[in-house]
């Protein structure tokens, strides 16, 4: 492309009929009157464009780095746009205009922000996520898409323009890199590199490890090279070693705290945590006394899964507007060392959504509102006996919750930083134990089986749910219809306290018990409260045709209620 002057040259002519005949200028292709300076400038523009086209210039820039042309060969254009471009410069120029602004004589006076913003995004694999108000760049050395801070993006663009300025020997790219021009570039990037679904659901059975992308199925594993097409934002810090073992982790920690059946359940959950998706819509509670190994196991899970994939679970804020703003960046939500009312908060019901594959709304302060399918894993660790705010949805909690009780407190002196010792000695072996759990999870999915749990493990969940609605359970199991009996409200509360004590439950206050009792008895036995139950000749509140189970505190003596 030659850029030359189009200034017309006037010639002498004869006057005819009082008019002046002006000779038309020759076409650009036939002109032979170019000034030497104009010709030099045109040749310079051609050479400059040849470098930008990737048709000229060295593949290696100063310092041994790769040129933009070779970068484009490494990262196909369709990485960010769906168009398949055979000539990158031509396509970008057609869409966004020429890269340089020139005078009519061909002198370069400025560079075009639209063209260079598009080219920068392509050559550096940069994209913008509106819902997060965040730029990301692909890092080929570890296969991750990393968030870019605003100041880092400005610096990277400035370095990019400096590099191209040296390659093309065109100082305008270097000179015009002020805040205003770079700000224009970022505005253009937000439009050109915008992607609404940049990070799709993690591919099932693919792990991003320190040295490879590991593909897992129910029968084996395969190692693959990193690629931007995985659109992975987090990776493990550990490498894959198929021969590594973890005898100390199993013998001194896991099996020292639980039996073999619970260890198998823990492995299933660890495998699902590693996969990054809640394939069975379940969550795990680690419950037990202090110094029983819970905290050590939780910290090891954090290390193997990756802290960047874990978000703190705060049930008191889950129903809030912005609490789920960065949910897409996490695969595991962790509630560590929580109090007994952790699942009784108003927001606790959201756990059923984020583990059940529901679509949830997320909103970032100053950003757009987005929606995503939530199939996140949840891990809760506590020294207390949790109570759940069931709100009548017992079956949903029963399907999702699983509990491992840590009943074996460590008897000897504590091993300081035991989690760090195990990670240092057996990280790859522990990773293999997690991978085996992931293979078991995927095999269960292929078979169409349910998440495995023994009768004893299911009984723990049922006991917790009964304790969470202890008044309902007492009305159902601790009372019964008796035609010739009556019972006062005070006697019912005494029986309720005994009922809870014998099961190791925390009873509700007397005020709440007496407030909730009439509706529950009405619903279960169709009886209404009487105000003239006689005791020592005094009328008291209570119920006719209702009696306490004689063995209220004995689980084997629960009354079979014909009138329930």
Sheet strands (E) in 315-366:
332-338, 359-363
Taking only the tens place, the pLDDT of each residue in 62-91 is 333 333 333 333 333 334 444 444 456 677
In this predicted structure, what is the pLDDT of residue 560? 39
What CATH number is given to the structural domain containing 520?
1.10.10.10
Establish if 382 belongs to a structural domain: yes
Question: Both 327 and 282 in a single domain?
Answer: yes
In this predicted structure, what is the pLDDT of residue 204? 84
Establish if 274 belongs to a structural domain: yes
Cα(433)–Cα(440) distance, integer angstroms: 11
Cα(293)–Cα(253) distance, integer angstroms: 7
Q: What is the mean pLDDT of residues 206-222?
A: 91
Tokens at 327, concatenated: 């949910």
Question: Both 268 and 336 in a single domain?
Answer: yes
- The residue among 435, 453, 471 that closes a domain is 453
- The residue among 425, 453, 481 that closes a domain is 453
- The residue among 393, 420, 453 that closes a domain is 453
Question: Both 264 and 394 in a single domain?
Answer: yes
Establish if 218 belongs to a structural domain: no
Taking only the tens place, the pLDDT of each residue in 431-447 is 999 999 999 999 999 99
Tokens at 495, concatenated: 């029986």
Taking only the tens place, the pLDDT of each residue in 414-430 is 899 999 999 999 999 99
Q: What is the mean pLDDT of residues 147-163?
A: 95
Q: What is the mean pLDDT of residues 498-527?
A: 95
497, 514 Cβ separation under 8 angstroms: no
In this predicted structure, what is the pLDDT of residue 43? 58
**Pick the residue with more confidence: 132 or 501?**
501
**How many helices (DSSP H) and strands (DSSP E) are in the chain?**
18, 20
Question: Both 403 and 527 in a single domain?
Answer: no
What CATH number is given to the structural domain containing 352?
3.40.50.300
Cα(468)–Cα(461) distance, integer angstroms: 11
Question: Both 312 and 356 in a single domain?
Answer: yes
Q: What's the number of domains the chain is made of?
A: 3
Look at residue 305 and give its three-state secondary structure.
Answer: helix
Establish if 110 belongs to a structural domain: yes
Does the pLDDT value for residue 130 go beyond 70? Answer: yes
Taking only the tens place, the pLDDT of each residue in 483-500 is 999 999 999 999 999 999
In this predicted structure, what is the pLDDT of residue 412? 73
208, 232 Cβ separation under 8 angstroms: yes
Look at residue 107 and give its three-state secondary structure.
Answer: coil
Residues 28, 37, 5, CA angle at the centre, nearest 5°?
30
Cα(61)–Cα(559) distance, integer angstroms: 86
Mean pLDDT of the chain: 82
* Nearest residue to 552 (alpha-carbon basis) of 502, 505, 508, 517: 502
In this predicted structure, what is the pLDDT of residue 347? 87
In this predicted structure, what is the pLDDT of residue 51? 58
Question: Both 288 and 413 in a single domain?
Answer: yes
* Least trusted range by pLDDT, from 132-136, 140-144, 487-491, 549-553: 549-553
Question: Both 252 and 194 in a single domain?
Answer: no
Range of the domain at 492: 463-552
In this predicted structure, what is the pLDDT of residue 61? 39
Question: Both 299 and 423 in a single domain?
Answer: yes
The backbone torsions φ and ψ at residue 224, rounded to the nearest 5 degrees and listed phi first, read -130, 160
Question: Both 275 and 151 in a single domain?
Answer: no
* Nearest residue to 68 (alpha-carbon basis) of 136, 160, 135, 148: 160
Does the pLDDT value for residue 203 go beyond 80? Answer: no
Question: Both 276 and 302 in a single domain?
Answer: yes
Query: Residue 267: which H helix or E strand, with range?
Result: helix 260-275
Residues 348, 354, 358, CA angle at the centre, nearest 5°?
120
Establish if 31 belongs to a structural domain: no
Query: Residue 258: which H helix or E strand, with range?
Result: none
Establish if 497 belongs to a structural domain: yes
Does the pLDDT value for residue 31 go beyond 80? Answer: no
Look at residue 29 and give its three-state secondary structure.
Answer: coil
pTM: 0.75
257, 421 Cβ separation under 8 angstroms: no
132 DSSP 8-state letter: G
Taking only the tens place, the pLDDT of each residue in 237-288 is 999 999 999 999 999 999 999 999 999 999 999 999 999 999 999 999 999 9
Establish if 69 belongs to a structural domain: no
Cα radius of gyration (the chain): 36
Does the pLDDT value for residue 175 go beyond 50? Answer: yes
Establish if 75 belongs to a structural domain: no
Question: Both 440 and 485 in a single domain?
Answer: no
Taking only the tens place, the pLDDT of each residue in 384-425 is 999 999 988 899 999 999 999 998 777 778 899 999 999 999
Question: Both 396 and 337 in a single domain?
Answer: yes
């Amino acid at each position: 492309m030659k850029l030359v002057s189009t200034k017309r040259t006037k010639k002498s002519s004869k006057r005819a009929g009082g008019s002046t005949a002006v000779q038309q200028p020759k076409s650009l292709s036939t002109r032979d009157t170019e000034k030497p300076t104009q010709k030099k400038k045109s040749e310079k523009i051609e050479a400059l464009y040849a470098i930008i086209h990737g048709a000229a210039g060295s593949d290696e820039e100063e310092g041994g780095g790769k040129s933009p042309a070779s970068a484009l060969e490494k990262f196909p254009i369709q990485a960010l746009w769906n168009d398949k471009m055979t000539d990158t410069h031509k396509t970008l120029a057609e869409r966004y205009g020429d890269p340089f602004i020139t005078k009519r004589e061909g002198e370069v006076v400025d560079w075009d922000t639209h063209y260079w913003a598009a080219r920068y995004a392509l050559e550096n694999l940069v994209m913008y996520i509106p819902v997060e108000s965040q730029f990301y760049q692909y890092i080929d050395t570890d296969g991750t898409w990393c968030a870019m801070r605003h100041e880092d993006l400005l610096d990277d663009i400035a370095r990019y323009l400096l590099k191209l300025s040296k390659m093309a020997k065109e100082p305008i790219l270097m000179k015009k890199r002020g805040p205003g021009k770079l700000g224009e570039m970022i505005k253009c990037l937000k439009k050109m590199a915008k992607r609404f679904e940049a990070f799709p659901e993690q591919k099932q059975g693919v792990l991003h490890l320190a040295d490879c992308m590991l593909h897992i199925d129910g029968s084996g594993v395969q190692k693959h090279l990193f690629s931007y097409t995985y659109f992975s934002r987090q990776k493990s810090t550990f490498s894959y070693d198929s021969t590594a073992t973890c005898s100390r982790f199993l013998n001194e920690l896991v099996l020292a705290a639980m039996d073999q059946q619970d260890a198998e359940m823990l492995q299933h959950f660890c495998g699902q945590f590693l996969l990054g998706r809640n394939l069975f819509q379940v969550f795990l509670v680690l419950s037990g006394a202090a110094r029983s190994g819970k905290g050590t196991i939780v910290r090891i899970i954090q290390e193997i899964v990756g802290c960047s994939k874990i978000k703190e679970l705060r049930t008191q804020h889950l129903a809030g507007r912005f609490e789920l703003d960065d949910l897409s960046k996490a695969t595991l939500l962790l509630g560590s060392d929580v109090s007994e009312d952790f699942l009784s908060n108003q927001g606790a019901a959201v756990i059923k959504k984020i583990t059940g594959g529901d679509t949830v709304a997320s909103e970032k302060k100053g950003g757009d509102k987005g929606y995503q399918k939530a199939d996140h894993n949840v891990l809760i660790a506590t020294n207390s006996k949790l109570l759940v705010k069931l709100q009548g949805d017992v079956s949903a909690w029963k399907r999702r919750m699983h509990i491992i009780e840590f009943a074996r407190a460590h008897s000897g002196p504590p091993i300081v930083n035991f989690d760090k010792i195990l990670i240092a000695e057996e990280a790859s072996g522990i990773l293999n134990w997690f991978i085996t759990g992931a293979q078991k999870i995927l095999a269960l999915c292929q078979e169409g089986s349910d998440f495995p749990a023994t009768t004893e493990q299911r009984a723990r969940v049922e006991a917790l749910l009964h304790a969470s609605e202890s008044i309902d359970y007492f009305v159902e199991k601790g009372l019964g219809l008796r035609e010739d009996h009556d019972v006062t409200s005070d006697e019912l509360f005494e029986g309720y306290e005994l009922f809870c004590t014998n099961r190791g439950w925390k009873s509700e206050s007397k005020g709440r018990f007496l407030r909730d009792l009439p509706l529950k008895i009405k619903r279960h036995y169709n009886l209404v409260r009487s105000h003239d139950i006689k005791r020592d000749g005094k009328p008291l509140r209570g119920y006719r045709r209702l009696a306490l189970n004689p063995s209220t505190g004995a689980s084997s003596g629960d009354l079979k209620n014909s009138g329930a």
